[in-house]
Amino acid sequence: MTDKTITYLTDAVQITAVVQKGRSDDILRACRDLGVAGGVVHLARGTGARERLGLLGIAVETEKEVVTMVVAADLRELIAETIYHTGGLDAPGGGYLYISQLERLATYIPQEILARMDDAKNVSADSPS
């Protein structure tokens, strides 16, 4: 066991988008331009959409890319809109996204950032309400 404590971040959301193959690089680039530190991309295959849309004569690629990123909750709308438009989710078979509230998030946080977080807590605790 270690004596280091874990600092949990709250007020974060996970945005997951299932998009057409080949769209993830554009999405990551657009989100990085907005300040998102990074994301995870993996390939996935689904069932159902090809058969349903096939009746209309629209061929839908079943291999998808799943893009997942964690962002501050106050940025969720901006990032979701960026993913929606950059990922082509506004077209039939373009994919979908969903947002999940995270209860707690633990990761490495540099000591200088932790010190700033403690200072901000102390200032808000000392402020008259």
Q: Is the pTM of this model over 0.75?
A: yes
For residue 9, the cross-strand partners are 105
Stated as kind and residue range, the H or E segment containing 27 is helix 24-33
Q: What is the mean pLDDT of residues 11-22?
A: 94
What is the Cα–Cα distance from 95 to 86, expressed in whole angstroms?
12
19-31 mean pLDDT: 95
Comparing 24-33, 48-57, 85-94, 116-125, which segment has the lowest mean pLDDT? 48-57
Q: Cα separation of 18 and 43, whole Å?
A: 9
Q: Give every CB contact of residue 126 below 8 A, 6+ residues apart in sequence.
A: none
- Average pLDDT score over residue span 32-59: 76
Kindly state the tokens that stand for 56: 């209309």
Tens of pLDDT, residues 49-76: 555 555 566 655 578 999 999 999 999 9
115, two tokens: 């010190």
pLDDT band at 107 (very low <50, low <70, confident <90, very high): confident
